[in-house]
Structure 1
């Protein structure tokens, strides 16, 4: 798995509030273009986000399912990313000392499908760039959150 870390000024509960709102998923996940439905009490285990990837007129409908959820600490997801397969995504939130905010650790790699056959160095470079931007977006949303 490739791991990207990002530090945000937002406290851990504000970062979690963004992650816990399934309708915001497309606002911070690079590649997700719209949310079609949030199934189950997100982000509880087995809950799903039905989202689309791409842009009109070429949109693929996919879903992301919660594998593990520990409020304000860890969210583990299984993301379908057609046509590449499925990836395991982990988001870990670590509170920084002295009200300095939160470190967000995002780990991801393909676990099935054609994406797994892409050479590791190339696959990880692409995931790193995408996930860095996703964490930047997540951070902006959490820092602007008034909750």
Structure 2
């Protein structure tokens, strides 16, 4: 089974969507499971920079980090997300402009280490795809709000 790609189309412009993606402090606002930011390294989202965030709910929070592996500003972002206690995942987000000025946002993710990487791929992809559908919905809502301002 291949990695499932989840897509969401929004009337928000690619610039508005990218603005949310490039704002490291906004990460917990759109990523399901992230609960707070602790630090955003200077230069984010340049390759090699990291987001230092926490996952879970108080008082059961785990400190984690997400590193930028590749970035094409305004078009794509590839991340390596630590998802303790489940392992590490590679996440690829792409933005495609629509003829009417909106954006198709696509997202692929798969576990590359830890317990989730040892779960059968079809089973883990079902859960990841459901989570990413909500993640993209949140990202689009933030971008649409920014486009209205």
Match of 1:108 in 2: 109
Matched, 1:84 2:102: no
Match of 1:8 in 2: 10
Q: Distance in 1 between matches of 2:4 and 2:26?
A: 24
The runs of at least 4 consecutive aligned structure 1 residues that moved more than 2 Å come to: none
Match of 1:46 in 2: 48
1:94 to 77, 85, 96: 96
Deviation track 1:16-58 (CA, whole Å, cap 9, x = no partner) reads 0000000000000000000000012111111100000000111
- Unaligned ranges ≥5, structure 1: none
Q: CA RMSD in A?
A: 0.9
Q: Distance in 2 between matches of 1:82 and 1:118?
A: 15
- Unaligned ranges ≥5, structure 2: none
Relative to the length of structure 1, the TM-score reads: 0.96
The count of aligned residue pairs is 146
